[in-house]
Structure 1
Amino acid sequence: MALPKFLQPYLPSYDVTKLDKDAPSVSREIITQVLNLGDDRAVRWVFDNYTLDKIRNAVKNPQRGVWNEESLNYWSQVLKIEKIENYDQAILNMNPV
């Protein structure tokens, strides 16, 4: 099933009309990018289309180097996640030392 076109700005490297929202790697990417960058409509879509467990897992076990620190902190509080695995590696650092 194709994703709605309003998600395209949050997944610029992909053609959303060709993505399967239920494929595990795709769902993780969608959840991550929308929670990181999405507007209210996109975030509502994520919560309407994925289980809370799947969303919490994407935040608790974040992809490496793709999260804005503010977004990851915000969603960990909203979703009541006490420990994020590999937190430092998950943060996108535009100024590495």
Structure 2
Amino acid sequence: MPDIQRVPVDFSPFFWDVHLEDLDPAIHSRFIIERLLNEGDHHTLHWLFKTYSMDEIRHVIQTSRNLSRKTARYWPYYFNLKEEEMRCFGTSLIKPDNLF
């Protein structure tokens, strides 16, 4: 993994629910990657790809259940993944016919 820097202060709008100074990019990598993939902009994604390896980002994309549908639909194209390889597209615990 490349040299890990602190999360930049100007990213605070993306981490409104945590204290930015408490985020450790090495320890909280999954949370940071998920949040920036879902909510980030061009600037934050540039930092994300400089900070974490492609393999680590791909692993989060494949195993996360916290990606928005929009995010989950975009990144497989970038990483050449299939929906079957992504946990967020797995089966739901609630079946549609059991809703009512």
Same fold, judged at TM 0.5 (above): yes
* RMSD (Å) for aligned C-alpha atoms: 1.9
For the residues of structure 2 that align with 1:8 and 1:88, how far apart are their CA atoms? 31
Aligned length: 87
Counterpart residue number, 2:96: none
For the residues of structure 2 that align with 1:13 and 1:60, how far apart are their CA atoms? 24
Unaligned stretches of 5+ residues in structure 2:
93-98
1:26-37, aligned counterparts within 5 Å?
Answer: 26-37=28-39
TM-score between the two structures when normalised by the length of structure 1: 0.78
User: Which of the pair has more CA radius of gyration?
Assistant: 2
Contact 1:6 1:42 in 2 (8 A): no
Contact 2:63 2:87 in 1 (8 A): yes
Question: Percent identity over the alignment?
Answer: 24
Unaligned stretches of 5+ residues in structure 1:
91-96
Q: Equivalent of 1:49, from 48, 51, 56?
A: 51
Deviation for aligned residue 1:86: 4.2
Higher relative contact order, structure no. (Cα contacts within 8 Å, ≥ 6 residues apart): 2
